[in-house]
Structures are given as structure tokens and as C-alpha cells.
Structure 1
Amino acid sequence: MSKLIFVNLPVADLPRSIAFYEGVGATKNPQFSDDTAACMVVSETIHVMLLTHAKYRQFTAKAIADARTTSEVLICVSEDSRESVDARVSAAVSAGGTADPTPTQDFGFMYGRSYEDPDGHIWEVMWMDMAAANEAMACEGAGQAA
């Protein structure tokens, strides 16, 4: 069985956050959702648990970070192409997010952009041509050995 990841995010407005994540392609799993939490399925192995602040506080006594002013985590997901990266960021903007809160990365064999959800959580979206990346790293390693 594949390992699953559940990213737990505190959100100020659960319905708004559900709409946002549906706007970027996630689907809500009603089996693990109620008035205090929503399980948003990103892929077969990636789930985002959107938790109201009251629900989130049940799991930790630590203060909830304001993700608009404090870096809490950077979450990165892959896409199948450069165009898919751009499409994901465009979908996030259409759903109420902010495009490119971090610098765009373009190394030819790797391309990445980012978006911020309505609560300030940053999602990086990247594509990589693995064959070209391996070749670039091999060339870089050969240059260091000389």
C-alpha cells in the first residue's frame, strides 16, 4: 500500500477554503468532512485537511501562525508539464488565490511557480524533466571532479 500524506491546514473560513481547493482541482471527501473540517483529495496519495481554528487547536497547544506574515511551511506538488504548472497557478488565481508569492524558478529542465491560498498557505508547483536533470547534475559533478 502506498503511503498517504495528510497536510493539516488551519483555515479562517471553511466554506471559502473548500471552494478554493475545489477551484484548484481537489475534491472533497465527505466521509472525513463535517462543519469543522474538510478532507480535500489532491491525488490518490495526497490529502489536505482543512481545519477550522477551533478544530486545529484540538491537535496542538501552539499558537496558530498567520501564514500571511509568518512562514510556517512550503508545500510543493509536481505537475506533468510546464503548461500544467501555469494552469494550476491560473486556477488558484481564479479561485481567489494569489499568484507567485515566491520567485518563479526556471532552469530549463525544472520549472516552478507558486500560489497562496486565501489563508496565506504557500503551495509550490513544479515540473521537472528527470532525464535532463540527471544529465545536468552529471555534467556539474564531472566539472567538480576535474
Structure 2
Amino acid sequence: MSKMIFVNLPARDLAASTAFYVALGGTVNAQFSGETSTSLMFSDAIGVMLLTHDHYREFTKRPIGDARRDSHAMFALTVVDREAVDATVSRGAAAGGRADPNPAQDLGFMYNRHIEDPDGYVWEIVWMNPAANA
């Protein structure tokens, strides 16, 4: 079995957060979704698990922080080309996210922008030129 990563995030409004992540390109995995959680797959190896605050508290005794106020982490998601960076950020903003909470970065071989989800988690949408690694 190949390695996978699942990012588990507490969500204040599960429906709004689900709509946001679907707009970013996630596909709902009904097998692991229900009234208190939504599982979204971005590839065979990348998943995001959204959990209501009550459900999230079942997994930790630590308080749930406010990502709108404090930076907790920044997640990066690659896309196929430069145009897909802008399109993904636009779809995310239309689905309730906030575009460009951090400045865009264009290094020629790499281009990225950021989108903040409804709970304040920041995702870097990035394209890297595969020829630049050769």
C-alpha cells in the first residue's frame, strides 16, 4: 500500500466547508462522510477530513484554535498549470473562501496563490514547471 496523507480539520459549518473543498477539486467520499464529518479526496493519496467541532473533540483534549486569528499551518496543493492556479482560487472564493490572504509568488518556474477556507485554514495552490527540475 502506498503512503497517503489525510488532513483532519475542525469545521464550524460542515456544509459550507464541504462546498468550499468541492470547489477546490475534492470529491466527497460517501463511505467516510455523514452528519458530523465529510471525507474529500483530491487524489488516490491525498484526503481532507472535515469534522464538526464536537466530533473533532472526540480525537483530542487540546482546545480548537482559531485559524482566522493565528496561523496554524499552511497546506499546499499542486495543480496542472498556471491557469489552474487562478481558476482554483477563483472557484474557492466563489464557494465562500477568501482569495489571496498572502501575496502571490511568481518565480517563473513556480507560481502560487493562496485561498483561505471558511474556518481560516490557508491553502497554497501551486504550479511548478516539471522541466525546471530536470
TM-score, normalized by length of structure 2?
0.95
> Which runs of 5 or more residues in structure 1 are unaligned?
135-146
Note the alpha carbon deviations across 1:61-94, whole angstroms, 9 max, x for none: 1111111001111000111110011111011011
> Which runs of 5 or more residues in structure 2 are unaligned?
none
Moved more, 87-96 or 19-28: 19-28
The amino acid that maps onto 2:107 is: F
| Superposition pairs of residues 35-74 of structure 1, within 5 angstroms | 35-74=35-74
User: 2:31 matched to 1:26?
Assistant: no
TM-score, normalized by length of structure 1?
0.87
The structure where helix makes up a greater share of residues is: 1
User: Sequence identity, in percent?
Assistant: 53
Q: Provide the alpha-carbon RMSD of the alignment.
A: 1.1
Q: Size of the alignment, in residue pairs?
A: 134
Q: Distance in 1 between matches of 2:111 and 2:133?
A: 11
1:133 CA drift (Å): 4.9
Q: Distance in 2 between matches of 1:133 and 1:63?
A: 41
Query: Does the CA-based 8 Å contact 1:104-1:114 persist in structure 2?
Result: yes
| Structure 2 counterpart of 1:141 | none
Moved more, 112-121 or 19-28: 19-28
Choose 1 or 2 for highest CA Rg.
Answer: 1
More relative contact order in 1 or in 2 (CA 8 Å, sep 6+)? 2
Question: Helix, strand or coil for the counterpart of 1:47?
Answer: strand
Q: Distance in 1 between matches of 2:67 and 2:99?
A: 15
1:131 CA drift (Å): 2.6
| Structure 1 counterpart of 2:8 | 8
